[in-house]
Amino acid sequence: MTTSPIALAIHGGCGTLPKAEMSEEEWAEAKADLASSLRAGWTILAKGGSAVDAVEAAVLVLENSAHFNAGHGAAFNSDGEHELDASIMDGETLAAGALCGVKRIRNPISAAKTLMRRGDPLLLAGAAADSFAEAEGLDMVENEYFSTERRRKNLSSMKIRELVGTASEASEAEKHGTVGAVARDVEGHLAAATSTGGYTNKPPGRVGDSPIIGAGTYARDGRCAVSGTGKGEYFIRYCIGHEIASLMAYSGLSLADATDKAIAELTAHKVGAGLVAIGADGAIVAPYNSEGMYRGWVTPDGFVHVATHGDVELAGQAEPAP
């Protein structure tokens, strides 16, 4: 895709439902939320704001939408609770903040950025992370706030599959889902952010790749910014985010070739996966190997593009790049 002084791309997870499983109205709402996410991040970039602030703003919109597995609309664990993970990384300084297993933070991505700004520690887990966010004055909610009827049905479906031995045959849409954003600001700095509810019917305490720096989230100026979605255990094993940056730095691969190679590794293991990434020059890629992936980006002329399956749609115009 065309490069630009500023750049932004998002994903809402590679666990996209088959088109027949949602009404036209529901698909329209999901696409509208993707477009709103892009406009929120792009507005910051177009005014000279930082990539870090832009990815936070974009992910916030998706955390607040019932259509994505992060924040409100997050998956249930096997106990019928929500445990949320999130992280954010600044490519300029390699500073990062991450949370896992949180139950009461309305917007985990904002708590992750607050932790990153504090500087130490980088990662907080469970009740300690909830307490940190509360002490910082962030919005706190009851765990039930994250629940939606669709996620309750997913949990019931996965429990039945577990009983009859067909859990491995579940679609990505039944199991997974993540949201993320990557950005390049006018100063050339990169940032990445990822947020998730994990996978449906996961064991309590399970932590995936989204809060693991170098796996589901990675940003490094001069190389790339990456946010992934899919089976987190494999993203951790392959250190996908860092692997892509290393393939570019040490093997001289382009962003497109490096991300394709990383996705191919996962495809070989029959792992559903996708990601969005931005290069140092503002180039954007959004590869995936599943039936679909909620995704979107803004072109340098300010046109907002969103997609769920194969077709990419124009969703209006934001401010042109400076």
Domain assignment of residue 234, given as a range: 7-317
Going by pLDDT thresholds of 50, 70 and 90, the confidence category of residue 1 is: very low
Residues 315 and 196 sit within 8 Å (Cβ to Cβ): no
Model pLDDT, residue 48: 95
What is the distance, to the nearest Å, from the Cα of residue 54 to the centroid of all Cα atoms in its chain? 13
Point out which residues pair with 178 in neighbouring strands.
196
Both tokens assigned to 214: 């170098």
Q: Is residue 2 situated within a structural domain?
A: no
Residues 179 and 11 sit within 8 Å (Cβ to Cβ): yes
Model pLDDT, residue 18: 66
Q: Is residue 322 situated within a structural domain?
A: no
Distance CA 265, CA 261 (A): 6
Main-chain phi, psi angles of 164, to 5 degrees: -95, 0
- Percent of the chain scoring above 90 in pLDDT: 76
**Rounded to whole angstroms, what are the CA distances from 23 to 19, 20, 26, 305?**
8, 7, 5, 21
Q: Is residue 93 situated within a structural domain?
A: yes
Statement: residue 56 has pLDDT above 80: yes
Statement: residue 307 has pLDDT above 50: yes
Residue 265: is it exposed, middle or buried by C-beta count within 10 angstroms (0-12/13-18/19+)?
A: middle
Model pLDDT, residue 190: 98
Statement: residue 32 has pLDDT above 70: yes
pLDDT tens, position by position, 69-108: 999 999 999 999 999 999 999 999 999 999 999 999 999 9
Distance CA 52, CA 183 (A): 8
Mean pLDDT score, 165-181: 76
Residues 240 and 215 sit within 8 Å (Cβ to Cβ): yes
Q: Is residue 213 situated within a structural domain?
A: yes
Model pLDDT, residue 26: 82
Distance CA 311, CA 254 (A): 24
Both tokens assigned to 116: 């990153």
User: Token match 């490096």: residue?
Assistant: 258
pLDDT tens, position by position, 224-243: 999 999 989 999 999 999 99
Count of CB atoms situated within 10 Å of the CB of 81: 14
Q: Is residue 1 situated within a structural domain?
A: no
Q: What is the mean pLDDT of the chain?
A: 92
pLDDT tens, position by position, 262-306: 999 999 988 889 999 999 999 999 999 988 899 999 988 889 999
Picking from 196, 200, 214, 224, the residue whose alpha carbon sits closest to that of residue 287 is 224
Distance CA 58, CA 71 (A): 13
Query: Does the predicted model carry a pTM greater than 0.85?
Result: yes
Query: HSE on the CB side for 279, CA within 13 Å?
Result: 20
Residues with Cβ within 8 Å of residue 80, at least 6 apart in sequence: 155
Model pLDDT, residue 174: 65
pLDDT tens, position by position, 132-144: 999 999 999 999 9
Q: What is the CATH number of the domain that holds 179?
A: 3.60.20.30
Residue 237: is it exposed, middle or buried by C-beta count within 10 angstroms (0-12/13-18/19+)?
A: middle
Distance CA 104, CA 85 (A): 12
Number of domains in the chain: 1
Residues noted as catalytic: 178
